[in-house]
Amino acid sequence: MTTTRPAPEEQELPFNVFAKACPSRGTLEHVTGRWGALTLGALYEGSLRFNELRRRVDGVSEKMLSQTLHALERDGLVHREAQPTNPPRVDYELTALGREVAERLLSLIHCVEGSMETVLRARERYDETRGAR
């Protein structure tokens, strides 16, 4: 079996969030935005209906959750499934790619949650030093 190896210049990652015009920067923002991150994190536990999601993502408005879900659906991270019931029922769930992204996001979220004692002590020290100037 032969493997075609790309030429060295083609091995470079074509997408780069550090470049202003790269579309990956927009997707990173959908994923890490205030509501995007919490929505992906919440859906990692399983599919949820709109109102269930809204309760889980404490503080989100109906409008913001709706916009967030549209952006995540458009990027192929969330799948929207309308059930043919009466009244209609709409479930949201992560796609395979959405799960990959959410796993990394949750690792970051848990790291932040688990570091908050350190963060709060750092904030106190910072504010004391600034106040003393």
> What does the block give as tokens for 89?
């029922």
Among 46, 51, 83, 97, binds its own copies (CB under 8 A): 97
Tokens linked to 13: 């990652």
Nearest distance from C-beta of residue 94 to its own copies, angstroms = 13
Phi-psi category of residue 76: left, alpha or beta, with phi > 0 → left and psi -120 to 50 → alpha:
left
- Kindly state whether residue 123 participates in binding its own copies, applying the rule CB under 8 A: yes
CB 78 within 8 A of CB 97: no
**CB of 78 closer than 8 Å to CB of 95:** yes
Give yes or no for residue 48 binding its own copies (CB under 8 A).
no
Binding-site string for its own copies from residue 19 to residue 38, where x marks contact by CB under 8 A and - marks none: xx--xx--xxx-xxxx--xx
Q: How many CB atoms lie within 10 A of CB 71?
A: 20
Q: In what order do the strands lie in the sheet with 89-94?
A: 48-49, 89-94, 78-83
Question: Binding residue for its own copies (CB under 8 A) from 111, 128, 132, 133?
Answer: 111
Indicate the residue among 34 and 89 with the shorter CB distance to its own copies.
34
Kindly state whether residue 90 participates in binding its own copies, applying the rule CB under 8 A.
no
Q: Which residues bind its own copies (CB under 8 A)?
A: 13-20, 23-24, 27-29, 31-34, 37-38, 41-42, 56-59, 73-77, 97, 100-101, 104-105, 107-109, 111-116, 118-123, 125-127
